[in-house]
Amino acid sequence: MNARLFSLLATVCLAPAPLLANEAPPAGEPAPLAVAADEGPAIEFQIGADVMAGFGLGDAELVAGVNAMFLYPVLDWLNVGIRPSLHYILPDSSPYDMTWLHADLALGFDLLEDPVRLYALLTGGYAFATDTDTYAALAHGGSGMAALGVAWRSESNWGVFAELGFRVGSASHDRTRCSLDGGGAPIMDEDTLTCVRESYSHTFEMYAFTVNLGITISP
């Protein structure tokens, strides 16, 4: 009886041993490495101030603006984002100033990463400008820019950048004016005794080189 009891206890106690031996890692085998978290691509943020000079700006005394850009890398060399900007223009020929606002999409192409970042930039999109004659009316259109830039960033992810580019833009709106005869005199309406008015499109154009300086951040 005692022999049978001892045999049963031995069977119960030793039965899990093969299972435990199969589950335990072999001696000397290193533990599995933890998988590092994927941080993903970093977003690039730039904020700058620029000046423009060229042709198609009229007799502008001052052309200056501010801009911001958000870029997200989709490939090792390609970034997409947005680049809104605002430009203030003071023409010589008008007592009113003019403001351009550009709501651009942006494509950035990384040409070099070390020791500094060299990149090409294409932007374009909707633009509007205030009318220098009425100041309240808005002219609607579009604009685009091509630029080359260089950026340096410290280990703390803050840095500086500089860009040289060329911007084109056009915006227009409909206005009316008195019709003139062949001699340049207004054509009068016999019933209302006022000049006969005609519609025309008033267009602003921008063709200028631009220099942009600012800071870059990669959070």
Per-residue pLDDT of the chain (219 residues; tens, 9 = 90+): 545 544 544 554 555 555 444 555 555 555 554 444 445 457 899 999 999 887 666 566 678 899 999 999 999 899 999 999 998 877 666 555 678 889 999 999 999 987 899 999 999 999 888 765 555 567 888 999 999 999 998 888 899 999 999 999 888 877 677 887 777 777 787 777 778 777 777 777 788 899 999 999 987
Which residues in the chain belong to E strands, given as ranges? Answer: 44-55, 60-73, 78-91, 98-112, 117-130, 138-153, 158-178, 197-217
pTM across the whole model:
0.69
- Provide the token pair at 80: 């997409």
Residue 202's contacts (CB-CB under 8 Å, 6 or more residues apart) are: 131, 133, 139, 172, 173, 174, 175
Q: Which domains does the chain have, with CATH numbers?
A: 41-217 (2.40.160.20)
CA distance 1 to 160: 90
Per-residue model confidence (pLDDT) at position 25: 53
Q: Does a cis peptide bond (omega within 30 degrees of 0) precede residue 115?
A: yes
Per-residue model confidence (pLDDT) at position 152: 92
DSSP 39-69: --PPPEEEEEEEEEEEESS-SEEEEEEEEEE
CA distance 85 to 90: 17
Q: Which CA distances in Å does 123 have to 88, 119, 200?
A: 19, 13, 30
Phi and psi at 25, nearest 5°, equal: -70, 145
